[in-house]
Amino acid sequence: MLAPTSRFARLQRVLTSGKRTYHDLTTLPNGKPAISYGPPGYSAVAGRTVTVFGCTGFLGRYLVSKLGKMGTQVVVPYRDEDDARLLKPMGDLGQIVRMEWDLRDDKTIAECLRHSDTVFNLVGRDFETKNFDYKSVHVSGAERIAKIAAESGVSRFIHLSHLNASENSPSKFYAAKAEGEQLVKAAFPTATIVRPATMFGYEDKLLTNIAVWPIWWKLNHGQTRIRPVHVMEVAQALANLISLPQVPRTVNLPGPSTLTYEYLLDLVSSVTLQPPSKAPVLPKGVASALTRIGQAVWWPTLSPDEVIRRFIDDSDVPGDWDLVGVQPPEIEAHAIAYLRRYRSADNFARPVAFPPRPAPIAEY
């Protein structure tokens, strides 16, 4: 027979594990209450409503998944029904709300965020089209969303920029990102500006692109310095921000190490067990001319501005990972998961061997 103290301890454990079904009241920064209840996970109700503009992009889909797993009701504005379809299973019934929108239509923007207490602006494009150039997306578009969010009484606004955003940058993309930051801060003074470095993951434009088009990563003889960061950790950092007090500042999210394109080319070659590319190193002028010719086709190709960015080192600033409670992994830890499909059938299951890192490349 169990002793009374043992029965009491067991009862305590049962009550503790059952606490997740109790109601939990949280006061949002705008004074409104948020009541969470139910079991943890997709079937939970966190009492928060979040709008994620740019939800169908590379980072956006992972953020929606993180928020849905927390029991957050997520409004996912979309332009193409097919792009938003994969977001529907990321939350329980009624938790993922799809709404069509237009970046130039104030009415649809206001409708997408009128019930939300937090708004994420992840809208971005690293190439220009005939309908949207860098300024219309990263400057006027970002300002429009921030203004409408402020007018609608949204308590928290989180805007995604880039680690290399600078008004004096030779890249129009980086310059537009910096200008957009200033206008967002003017429209929404307590906005949080998040600056991640170049991200890698499934369907990225880093590792998978190097595996397919190594010639474009040999520009500058591969000596451009980059601080790649895992997309899942950036998504988790963004999701963690909604649980923190207001963070009216810039949050830098670089990768844990500074690498070169030359090392990444060696890394991809080693992981895929493919011979190193014998493609020549293109001069900057030749590469720019080829990309301008490529603009004649109707599908996205490497843009002239991307050639400029291949010659710009990532900003040497400390990361703010401690603030968001996330520790980013090294790129080697996930490289095989994203590059295994480029191996031949004979080499598919062979062990992974990484190239040695060059001595001058130091960790921050």
Among the listed residues 163, 153, 188, the one whose alpha carbon sits nearest the alpha carbon of residue 32:
153
* Contact (Cβ atoms closer than 8 angstroms) between residue 147 and residue 279: no
Whole-angstrom CA distances from 1 to 4, 6, 9, 68, 136 are 9, 10, 14, 45, 74
For residues 321, 229, 257, 354, the Cα torsion angle rounded to the nearest 10 degrees is 140
263: nearest Cα among 306, 231, 227: 227
Lowest mean pLDDT, pick from 15-19, 248-252, 316-320, 345-349: 15-19
Number of CB atoms found within 10 A of residue 28's CB? 15
Please tell me the total count of domains within the chain. Answer: 1
Q: Which residues contact 104 (CB under 8 A, 6 or more apart)?
A: 136, 141, 144
- Chain mean pLDDT for the chain: 89
* pLDDT for position 296: 87
Whole-number pLDDT of residue 46: 74
Vertex 179: Cα angle to 177 and 183 (nearest 5):
115
Q: Residues, the chain, total?
A: 364
pLDDT per position as a tens digit, 75-98: 999 999 999 999 999 988 889 999
Q: Identify which has the larger pLDDT, 40 or 113.
A: 113
Question: Rounded to the nearest 10 degrees, how much is the dihedral formed by the CA atoms of 317, 222, 257, 344?
Answer: 150
CA dihedral (69, 75, 80, 82) positive or negative: positive
Q: What are phi and psi of 334, to 5 degrees?
A: -120, 0
Mean pLDDT, range 227-231, rounded to an integer: 98
In-domain check, residue 216: no
Give the residue carrying structure tokens 């190709």: 301
Instruction: Please check whether residue 293 lies inside any domain of the structure.
Output: no
**What percent of the chain is predicted at pLDDT more than 70?**
87
Residue 69 has pLDDT above 70, yes or no: yes
Q: How far apart are CA 241 and CA 244, in angstroms?
A: 5
**How high is the pLDDT of residue 14?**
39
Average of per-residue pLDDT across 196-201:
98
Task: Evaluate whether residue 363 is within a structural domain.
Answer: no
CA separation for the pair 204, 256 (Å, rounded): 18
What pLDDT is attached to residue 96?
95
Which of helix, strand or coil describes residue 354? Answer: coil
pLDDT > 90 in the chain, percent: 78
Q: What is the pLDDT, as a whole number, of residue 298? A: 85
* Domain-located, residue 108: yes
The Cα–Cα gap between 154 and 190 comes to: 11
Mean pLDDT of 198-227: 96
CA angle 269, 275, 279 (to 5 degrees): 95
Which three-class secondary structure state does DSSP give residue 23? coil
Q: Does pLDDT of 29 surpass 80?
A: no
Q: Which domain holds residue 131?
A: 35-201+230-253
Arithmetic mean of pLDDT, 96-102: 96
Mean pLDDT of 190-203: 97
- Whichever domain contains 45, its CATH number is 3.40.50.720
Q: For 5-9, 111-115, 316-320, which range has the lowest pLDDT when averaged over its residues?
A: 5-9
The answer to whether residue 11 scores a pLDDT higher than 60 is no
How far apart (Å, rounded) are the C-alpha atoms in residues 153 and 46? 20
CA distance 141 to 128: 14
Q: Which helix (H) or strand (E) holds 266?
A: helix 261-272
Please report whether residue 249 resides in a domain.
yes
Residue 149 pLDDT more than 90? yes
DSSP state of 139: I
Task: Taking residues 37-49, report their average pLDDT.
Answer: 72
pLDDT at residue 17 in the model: 38
The answer to whether the predicted template modeling score (pTM) of the entire model surpasses 0.85 is yes
In a domain, 283, yes or no: no
**pLDDT band at 293; cut points 50, 70, 90:** very high
- The mean pLDDT value for 316-327 works out to 96
| CB count in 10 Å sphere of residue 11 | 10
Position 35 scores a pLDDT of: 60
Give pLDDT, residue 360.
Answer: 60
Query: What pLDDT is stored for residue 1 in this prediction?
Result: 45
Q: Is the pLDDT of residue 50 over 90?
A: yes
